Amino acid sequence: METLSVYLISEIVIEAWAIPGSVPTTFRIDHVKQLLEGFTKDSDYIASLIGLPLLQPYISVDKLNLDGLLHLLCIVAFGQEQGRQNLDGVDETMNGKYDYLSCIVLMFETLDIDRDLRKILLHFYHLGIPKAPAWYFESCLAVLPSDTRSIKCDHAIELWGVTHYSSVGPAQHEKIVQKLMNIWNILPKYPGGRTIDYNACIIGVYLAGITSANYLLPYSLPSHLYYIMFMWFHETVFKEEDQVGSPGPQALELLQNLNIDAIVQAISENIKNALQNIHTSVAGFEVSETEHLQSTTSSISSTRSAFHHIRDVALNVSNRNRNYTILKFPL
């Protein structure tokens, strides 16, 4: 698990999951639920959190505004802290989950606690993009030769589609191309925006996998989320070297190939006029100058042809001495 302050998490979540152009900043409830899966694997607990009476004033037509999200993150963080202290007299069994949550909320609202978002810590497995088992990362890496330096849009769309969607019928092609184009749009690119590097393409393979399993994509891919996924691959491939205490030459080469300049360039190009300064006072919480990054959209007409023949395309993996099978994201 990772640990960050609620303040830093809120900045990342706003950039990735806030509805572009929403004023005040709002989030889709289904996005919020997927985000909460990174804090707890208990679906009943997530439903109880969303159903809290104190959140209802912040919910409108299946959307939660920023004030409500900050309340939610702080309650989750407070519950994590109290859970580690093993509160006496609090039923933490499945049947008493909502009673436990009600107790946490009551304590949260009545106790004199520090409400500084920079000091409230939140532990998480992920921030809305689920983590797969190690074997899945290995399978993603097998899709593309490691010496690949740059990939154009049409090639990437075809590769991701063949890997995850080659069994679908023609009627679904346009919808799937749109999903894959959304992935292309949020990945960091080389200057000019027409190609991506090897690491971005492999992360694209991973993101295409989560869409095939009906997970939702963020509107943007902040550098922190990109780095988290990059490190998932790094930890999988170089686990033995990491246990020794120093990375091997292959690990160093992979880190060097992480195109930080391309990431920075992509972020700066995507920002445009989308930065908003938000000053919000939430029942004792103070948040200043929170950044909101709007995602950009692009036409998919030029890439539809890359997917129309997807059922007839055979991925060339003979040099890896294995039979190709469709990669399924584990649910």
For 71-91, how does the pLDDT look when each residue is reduced to its tens digit (9 = 90+)? Answer: 999 889 888 887 654 433 333
Looking at the structure, do residues 48 and 80 belong to the same domain, yes or no? yes
Looking at the structure, do residues 32 and 107 belong to the same domain, yes or no? yes
Higher pLDDT, residue 124 or 115: 124
Looking at the structure, do residues 56 and 169 belong to the same domain, yes or no? no
| Whole-structure pTM value | 0.71
Looking at the structure, do residues 171 and 303 belong to the same domain, yes or no? yes
Give the domain range for residue 194: 134-258+295-320
Looking at the structure, do residues 145 and 95 belong to the same domain, yes or no? no
- pLDDT recorded at residue 326: 62
Looking at the structure, do residues 40 and 164 belong to the same domain, yes or no? no
**Residue 101 and residue 48 in contact, taking contact as beta carbons nearer than 8 Å:** yes
DSSP per residue over 252-270, as a string?
HHHHHHS-HHHHHHHHHHH
**Residue 42's CATH number:** 1.10.238
- pLDDT recorded at residue 105: 74
Closest CA to 116 of 289, 287, 279, 290: 287
284 lies in a domain?
no
The total domain count for the chain is 2
- Of all residues in the chain, what percent are helix, strand and coil, respectively (each to 5)? 55, 10, 40
Q: Which of 140-144, 195-199, 256-260 has the lowest mean pLDDT?
A: 256-260
Looking at the structure, do residues 110 and 160 belong to the same domain, yes or no? no
Rounded to the nearest integer, the mean pLDDT of the chain is 74
Residue with tokens 């933490």: 92
* CB contact set of 307 (below 8 Å; sequence gap of 6+): 157, 158, 161, 173, 176, 177, 180
For residue range 180-207, list pLDDT tens digits in order. 999 999 999 999 999 999 999 999 999 9
Residue 141 has pLDDT above 70, yes or no: yes
Looking at the structure, do residues 93 and 153 belong to the same domain, yes or no? no
- pLDDT recorded at residue 262: 52
Choose one of 102, 124, 146: the last residue of a domain: 124
268 lies in a domain?
no
276 lies in a domain?
no
Measure the CA–CA gap between 23 and 31, rounded to whole angstroms. Answer: 17
Looking at the structure, do residues 165 and 25 belong to the same domain, yes or no? no
Q: Which of 38-52, 57-71, 258-272, 310-324 has the lowest mean pLDDT?
A: 310-324
Burial of 262: CB neighbours in 10 Å, binned 0-12, 13-18, 19+: buried
- pLDDT recorded at residue 122: 92
290 lies in a domain?
no
* CB contact set of 315 (below 8 Å; sequence gap of 6+): 143, 159, 162, 163, 324
Measure the CA–CA gap between 172 and 212, rounded to whole angstroms. Answer: 12
Looking at the structure, do residues 138 and 250 belong to the same domain, yes or no? yes
Choose one of 124, 159, 192: the last residue of a domain: 124
Looking at the structure, do residues 150 and 24 belong to the same domain, yes or no? no
Looking at the structure, do residues 162 and 224 belong to the same domain, yes or no? yes
For residue range 32-74, list pLDDT tens digits in order. 999 999 998 888 889 989 988 888 999 998 999 999 999 999 8
Strand runs labelled E in the chain: 2-5, 26-28, 63-65, 121-124, 151-152, 195-196, 278-282, 285-290
Average pLDDT over residues 85-98: 42
Q: Report the alpha-carbon angle 32-36-40, nearest 5.
A: 165
Average pLDDT over residues 133-159: 91
